[in-house]
Amino acid sequence: GLPAAVFVVVHIGQVSYLAEILDRAGTLEAQPARNGETFRTGCIYVAQPGFHLLLHDGHMMLRRGPRENLARPAIDPLFRSAALSYGASVIGVLL
C-alpha cells in the first residue's frame, strides 16, 4: 500500500459523503477525520464540514477555529500543522 497517510480538505456544505465515495471508488481506505484519532499509512482522511483538520504527534485534531480565507475547513491550518509537526517529511498538494 501507500507508505503515507492522505488528508483531504474540501470546501463543502454541512454534510459530506466524500469519505464514503472515495472509500468505494479506490483501493485505499477512506474515512472522515476524527478528533484525537491516530492516523495510519495507506488511509485517506477527509476533513469534516465546519472543522479545521490539524496534525500533531501522529494524531488528528478537529478545531472550530476562525475561518481562514472565508473557509472552515481550510487547507492553511492543515498545511501549517503538518509542516510544524513533520517538516521535510511531509508533502502538500493544492488542487
CATH of the domain at 33: 3.40.50.180
85 part of a folded domain: yes
95 part of a folded domain: no
Alpha-carbon gap, residue 75 to 2, rounded angstroms: 22
68 part of a folded domain: yes
52 part of a folded domain: yes
Neighbours of 32 (CB within 10 A): 19
Q: How confident is the model over 17-43, as pLDDT tens digits? A: 999 999 999 999 999 999 999 999 999
Which residue range(s) make up the domain with 27?
6-89
60 part of a folded domain: yes
Q: What is the pTM of this model?
A: 0.94
Here the cell at position 22 is: 472515495
Confidence of residue 12 (pLDDT cuts 50, 70, 90): confident
Contact 46, 10 (CB under 8 A): yes
32 part of a folded domain: yes
43 part of a folded domain: yes
Alpha-carbon gap, residue 3 to 24, rounded angstroms: 20
For the chain, how many structural domains are there in total? Answer: 1
